[in-house]
Amino acid sequence: MSSGYDFAFAIGGAAGQGIATPGNILARILVRRGLNLYAYNAYQSIIRGGHIFLTVRVKDEPVHSHGDKLDLILALNQDTMDRHARHVVPGGVVIYNSDDIKPAEVQDGVQLCGMPIKELTEDNRNKLVQNTVALGVMLNLLGVEFKVLEDALALQFGRKGDDVVADNVNVAMAGFDHAKMNFKPFASALPERDKPLAVWTGNDAFGMGGAAAGVKFYVAYPMSPATGVLHWMAKNARECGIMVRQIEDEIGVANVALGAAQTGARTMCATAGGGFALMTEAVGAAGMMEIPVVFINVQRAGPSTGVPTKTEQGDLWQALGASQGDFERIIVAPKDALDAFNTIAEVFNLVDHYQCPAIVLSDLLISEGTFSVDPDAVNMQPTIDRGEMITEAGSSDGGYQRYKITESGISPRAIPGVAGHAYVAPTDEHDEDGVLISDEYTNPHKRRDMVEKRARKMSTFHDKVAAPELEGPADAEVTLIGFGSTDGVIRDARVLLEAQGVKANQLAVKWIQPFHADAVTKVIEAAKKVLIVENNYSGQFHRFLRSETGCRVDGHIRKYDGEPFQPHHIVNGVVDHLGDKKDVAKDVYVPFQEILV
């Protein structure tokens, strides 16, 4: 059961100062103790320099967002100290190298923990040594025995040899002892639970989800923040029997995907909005040729090159409008890493059944966020349903029609190589045989039949995919509606609102196309006050909801500065909308981003 433990620490410095290593070591220690975490890393598009700020929130129950408070900061440079020390809450600590960094002003009750690095490490000239010393300090303050850190260091540095492990253990011990003698530990020690958890990024989850769902072909071009999927796939492909290819550009990627999927392999590709823009003509081709294929678009702040390392939900209309023409597609926006994992298996069964393309809308927040996951909730062998597929040679009487007009609209799909079923899959409109109708006499009736056949396929979609359900008290004063990655932060905001006496419920939308318009309309019509929460300026999700439901809503909470919502941003927005609306302009509340990263 939860003890209410809720602790957040941050590590800040410049790119190249080795923030990832202590971050990974700590994350591993935490999940091995069975603690839940969510980590958000704010960074820029450079390899050296800039400002990186990794926030890790730890609880002994599921963590939905990186939260509102900071209990501990490890400042690896003066910049971090100057920017962030004041954000540490009373009772918290700031750890820093006192040889190089001057302490900044902090709130009352914040402990400044300077580490005399030269003295503690006998003048070790390795610049990264301060990170290991700091780990010793941190774990001491968190009330964790040194052995735990020693084991974690052995695991982290084992490949580099025993000397490196010993050096790290020694300096970590120096930090641990220095803290024991000089600093006051936190009032509550880091809890420990019996079952270790897994730790994934959202991109890991997409890769793993693909592997579990039977993806046999993954193709990509590197683009932040989607590259993690490629890395996962490249690393694990051989073991899982997955063909992984990096192609010359995203146009090529999407078209390689069409070829592989048409040939029978479950095929996936991931990119960011810019790459997806290049892929879009192929999305329509998949619609016309009726090829099941999954495109993941990890949204980052756009348009154009935009802010490559920042998050946004700005590609919704890009997904809705991807490719010219009028055709059927599935769009789904997962909510977190575990949901991302599960979504891949779900969506592959759907695209195989409906023989159409699907777009998975992720964003930087999910894809590059690090989540703890309960391994018991992970099914590596999900149900796999490939739909009406012909993989064995049958009749050779020449009667096979790939695009046969059926009552369901679904035509059994033969894959190349199967004798007696050869046909051409065309990007041109075609008849039941796959013969082009766009040349010579077009035949408007055939065109109408084929358009209707493809559209008819989706009529059973809502039997297979459940509508979103309202969560929270039915008599809530306010209903918060969001899609995809805002699910968690809205969840946290509702708890805070309740503590302030404001009852809120939420509708977290995941399946966007085909949309559950009737169910969502009912929720909006029954709600006392509806606010829409989304990570973009123009209210893309609101405009979509309006077009699908015809409903008006009462207000909006939007953020488009590149940084994700924190729970208090939404709380403040709700309070303002319910009260004097001092910060609401034209029904839109835009929170102020306090942490500058």
Partner 1 sequence: MATTTLPELKAKDFKGKVDPDWCPGCGDFGLLNSVQKSLAELGKQPHEVVCISGIGCSSNFPGYLSTYGMHTLHGRALAVATGVKFANPELTVIVTGGDGDGYGIGGNHFTHTARRNVDMTYLVMNNQIYGLTTGQVSPASPVGMKTKSTPFGNLERPYNAVTSSIMNGATFVARAFSGHGKQLVSIIQQAIEHKGFSIVDCFSPCVTFNKDNTYDFFRERIKKLEEEDHDTSDWKSACEKALHWDDKIYTGVYYKDESVPALNDQEPVLEAGPVATAVPALSKEQGDRILKRMM
Restricted to residues 219-238, the positions that interact with partner 1 (CB under 8 A) are 219, 236-238
Among 146, 186, 423, 560, binds partner 1 (CB under 8 A): 423
Q: Where are the beta strands (DSSP E) in 160-248?
A: 198-201, 215-220, 243-246
Among 225, 264, 273, 564, binds partner 1 (CB under 8 A): 264
Tell which positions 28-87 bind partner 1, by CB under 8 A. 31
CB 525 within 8 A of CB 548: no
Query: Which C-beta is closer to partner 1: that of 286 or that of 532?
Result: 286
* Minimum distance from residue 437 beta carbon to partner 1 (Å): 11
User: Is 440 a residue that touches partner 1 (CB under 8 A)?
Assistant: yes
58 DSSP assignment: E
Evaluate whether 436 touches 429 at the Cβ level (below 8 Å): yes
Query: Which ranges of 33-116 would DSSP assign to H, the alpha helix?
Result: 78-84
Rg (CA), the chain: 26
- Contact residue for partner 1 among 139, 149, 265, 350 (CB under 8 A): 265
Is there a contact between 502 and 555 (Cβ–Cβ < 8 Å)? no
* Binds partner 1 (CB under 8 A): choice among 433, 449, 477, 498: 433
Among 55, 121, 267, 572, binds partner 1 (CB under 8 A): 267
Nearer to partner 1, 195 or 464 (CB): 195
Answer for the pair 92, 110: CB distance below 8 angstroms, yes or no: yes
- How many residues appear in the chain? 597
Q: Round to whole Å and give the CA distance between 413 and 402.
A: 6
The pair of three-digit structure tokens given for residue 581, joined into one six-digit string:
């609306």
Least distance to partner 1, CB of residue 258, Å:
5
Q: Which C-beta is closer to partner 1: that of 257 or that of 320? A: 257
CA–CA separation, 298 vs 312, rounded Å?
Answer: 9
User: Given the rule CB under 8 A, which of 61-69, 186-194, 249-257, 455-463 is the region that contacts partner 1?
Assistant: 249-257
C-alpha 294/C-alpha 218 separation (Å) is 10
* Secondary structure class of 259 (helix, strand, coil): helix
Is residue 243 part of the contact set for partner 1 (CB under 8 A)?
yes
Which listed residue (34, 306, 420, 539) binds partner 1 by CB under 8 A?
A: 420
The secondary structure element, H or E, covering residue 172 is helix 162-182
CB of residue 426 to partner 1, shortest distance in Å: 4
User: Contact letters (x/-) for partner 1, 327-366, by CB under 8 A?
Assistant: ----------------------------------------
- If the CB atoms of residues 216 and 558 are measured against partner 1, the closer one turns out to be 216
Q: Which two tokens stand for residue 476?
A: 């809530």
The smaller minimum CB distance to partner 1, of residues 247 and 451, is found at 247
Candidates 20, 164, 240, 458: give the one binding partner 1 (CB under 8 A).
240
499-528: which residues touch partner 1 (CB under 8 A)?
Answer: none
* Residue 257 in the binding site for partner 1 (CB under 8 A): yes
* Calpha distance 86→142 (Å, rounded): 21
Binding flag, residue 424, partner 1 (CB under 8 A): yes
Q: How many residues bind partner 1 (CB under 8 A)?
A: 76
CA-to-CA distance for 431 and 131, rounded, in angstroms? 66
DSSP per-residue string spanning 266-312: EEEEEEEHHHHHHHHHHHHHHHHHT--EEEEEEE-B-STT-BTTS--
Place of tokens 């009772």: 91
To partner 1, the closest distance from the beta carbon of 420 in angstroms equals 7
Q: Give min distance, CB of 465 to partner 1, in A.
A: 21
Q: Closest separation between CB of residue 434 and partner 1, Å?
A: 8
Sign of CA dihedral 93, 94, 95, 100: negative
Q: Does 415 bind partner 1 (CB under 8 A)?
A: yes
C-alpha span between 292 and 286 (Å, rounded):
7
- 249: contact with partner 1 by CB under 8 A: yes
Residue 577 CB, nearest approach to partner 1 (Å): 41
CB of 219 to partner 1, least distance (A): 7
372-to-23, 39, 143 alpha-carbon distances in Å: 14, 9, 21
For residue 484, the one-letter residue type is: G
Distance (Å, rounded) from C-alpha 2 to C-alpha 489?
19
Nearer to partner 1, 229 or 256 (CB): 256
- Write out the two tokens for 385: 């349903």
How do strand 198-201 and strand 530-534 relate by DSSP bridges?
unpaired
Minimum distance, C-beta of residue 12 to partner 1, in the bound complex (Å): 27
Closest approach of partner 1 to the CB of residue 192, in Å: 16
Q: Looking at beta carbons only, is 197 or 480 nearer to partner 1?
A: 197
Q: Within positions 275 to 304, which residues make up the interface with partner 1, using CB under 8 A? A: 281-282, 285, 289
Whole-angstrom distance, CA of residue 563 vs CA of residue 570: 14
In terms of CB distance, is 252 or 306 closer to partner 1? 252
| In the complex, minimum distance from the CB of residue 384 to partner 1, in angstroms, rounded to a whole number | 6
Residues numbered 379-408 forming contacts with partner 1, rule: CB under 8 A: 380-381, 384, 386, 391, 393
- Which lies closer to partner 1 via its Cβ, residue 193 or residue 522? 193
Strand partners, 7: 58
CB-wise, 419 or 455, nearer to partner 1?
419
Q: For partner 1, which residue of 241, 444, 501, 579 counts as binding (CB under 8 A)?
A: 241
Question: CB of 262: closest distance to partner 1 in angstroms?
Answer: 6
Nearest residue (CB) to partner 1, 197 versus 316: 197
Binding letters toward partner 1, positions 197-216, x by CB under 8 A: xxxx---x---x--xxxxxx
Selected binder of partner 1 within 20, 104, 418, 451 (CB under 8 A): 418
Q: Distance of alpha carbon 217 from its chain centroid, rounded?
A: 21
In angstroms, what CA-CA distances link 56 with 43, 295, 509? 14, 30, 26
Residue 456 to residue 180: CA distance in whole angstroms: 70
Other beta carbons within 10 Å of 553: 19
**Residue among 427, 443, 460, 513 that touches partner 1 (CB under 8 A):** 427
Q: 450 vs 557, which CB is nearer to partner 1?
A: 450
